[in-house]
Amino acid sequence: MKIAIVCYPTFGGSGVVATELGIALAERGHEIHFVTYQQPVRLGLLSNNIHFHEVHVPEYPLFRYQPYELALSSKLVDTIKHYGIELLHVHYAIPHAYAGYMAKKMLKEEDIYIPMVTTLHGTDITLVGNHPFYKPAVTFSINKSDVVTSVSQDLKQKTLKIFDVENEIEVIPNFIDPKKYSSTFTDCQRSLMASDDEKIITHISNFRKVKRIEDVIAIFYQVQREIPSKLIMVGEGPEKERAELQCEQLGLEEKVLFLGNSNEIDRILCFSDLFLLPSETESFGLAALEAMANKVAIISSNAGGIPEVNKHGISGFLSDVGNVDEMAKNAIHLLGNDQRLEKFKTNAKNVSKEFEIQNILPLYEDVYEKAYKSRYKNSY
């Protein structure tokens, strides 16, 4: 099938899922066209059946805000016509589902019927989409999508609660590609980060408020008093500076390494013992799943869809949001006993297998089939 994928191309989870899905679909023989404002960061070389179409938004002095949705809809119309695209898959409702619907409408005028699948990722529902400024447009775009998917049961329930949804929502969880984790890195240089007697704890995110970065540092502060350890912080975002300051105030500068954004998170995770994800809300927690696939145990909050990924007492432990003391206690419990830690790490790896791409990809293909079959009777 010829599929156009719209996503955010940066380091957020929705962009990662969209990119990895596109790559996997291309490997299965589909022709994939990414349409976004920058080449997605996880997309390596383009190939015969992976294409990238950049959306340009020309500057004009009259515009206080650049009309990205308009430029995106136009680019979609051109791309769909030029390449004979058969299906549109938009990741993250705002503004992609809205722009996708406009493209569908424009194409219908020319008797081109393009089905649209919308995947809800989390903050497009729980934080941004919920805002009264966006809610009517998000509700409309969800209802005008031919198929709607969400990345967890929890997100589905939240969407049904917050929005007046007329459509079915199919849950298709996020996934990992086992090929990426099958070989142990020969250059997994643990010694670059910590000495032999130290444990390595990792956090990866976009350092937004919702990630509760201050809790990550507070948990580590308690842990390092009991267990020789290092904390590796991967990512960039608005809370990073405050986190650096917090480390300075707690005297942790030597023990916390801020690495910035990385395209090589698997190389970092391969020498990690524990991953911290104390988020306020999290529709799924792809970062935790990627850590688990790298055989890393998880200490997390029990927010949103996290319990669907991190299994309490098996792959790690879950606590109420903000319960830093309990999270630190559980981390010490794991890190303080090598045998126990190894068991949880192995369990984490085993749980992650449920989410391997070969189990998930067919679910997307079924959804595409369903959307394509109903393209003429879709609501416009």
Candidate ranges 57-65, 163-171, 204-212, 262-270; the one touching ligand GMT (CB under 6 A): 204-212
The H or E element containing residue 16 is helix 13-27
Strands ordered across the beta sheet of 316-319: 256-260, 229-234, 199-204, 274-277, 297-301, 316-319
List the one residue from 107, 117, 210, 331 that touches ligand GMT (CB under 6 A).
Answer: 210
Q: How far is the CB of 319 from ligand GMT (least distance, A)?
A: 17
Residue position matching structure tokens 């500076």: 241
Q: Does 156 bind ligand GMT (CB under 6 A)?
A: no
Altogether, the residues listed in the chain come to a count of 380
Residue 171: exposure state from Cβ atoms within 10 A (0-12, 13-18, ≥19): middle
Q: Does 177 bind ligand GMT (CB under 6 A)?
A: no
Q: Does 145 bind ligand GMT (CB under 6 A)?
A: no
Site string for ligand GMT, 54-73 (x = CB under 6 A): --------------------
Rounded CA separation 375/166 (Å): 17
List the one residue from 79, 159, 174, 202 that touches ligand GMT (CB under 6 A).
Answer: 174
Residues between 101 and 140 with contacts to ligand GMT, criterion CB under 6 A? 121-123
Contacts of residue 318, Cβ cutoff 8 Å, sequence gap at least 6: 300, 301, 302, 306, 307, 310, 312
Nearest to 18 by CA among 235, 280, 286, 207: 286
CA distances from 164 to 97, 151, 158 (A): 16, 19, 11
Nearer of residues 75 and 208 to ligand GMT, judged by Cβ: 208
List the one residue from 151, 176, 201, 361 that touches ligand GMT (CB under 6 A).
Answer: 151
The tokens of 194 are what?
């910590």
Nearer of residues 7 and 335 to ligand GMT, judged by Cβ: 7
Q: Where are the extended beta strands (E) located within 40-181? A: 50-54, 87-91, 116-120, 147-150, 169-171
Residue position matching structure tokens 């910590």: 194
Q: Does 94 bind ligand GMT (CB under 6 A)?
A: no
List the one residue from 92, 181, 207, 364 that touches ligand GMT (CB under 6 A).
Answer: 92
The tokens of 289 are what?
């799943």
Q: How far is the CB of 163 from ligand GMT (least distance, A)?
A: 16
Nearest to 129 by CA among 163, 171, 100: 163
Q: Does 285 bind ligand GMT (CB under 6 A)?
A: yes
Q: Does 282 bind ligand GMT (CB under 6 A)?
A: yes
Q: Does 19 bind ligand GMT (CB under 6 A)?
A: no
Candidate ranges 9-17, 66-74, 93-101, 353-361; the one touching ligand GMT (CB under 6 A): 9-17
By rule CB under 6 A, what count of residues binds ligand GMT? 20
Q: Does 276 bind ligand GMT (CB under 6 A)?
A: no
In the complex, the residues that contact ligand GMT under the rule CB under 6 A are 12-15, 17, 92, 121-123, 151, 174, 206, 208, 210, 281-286
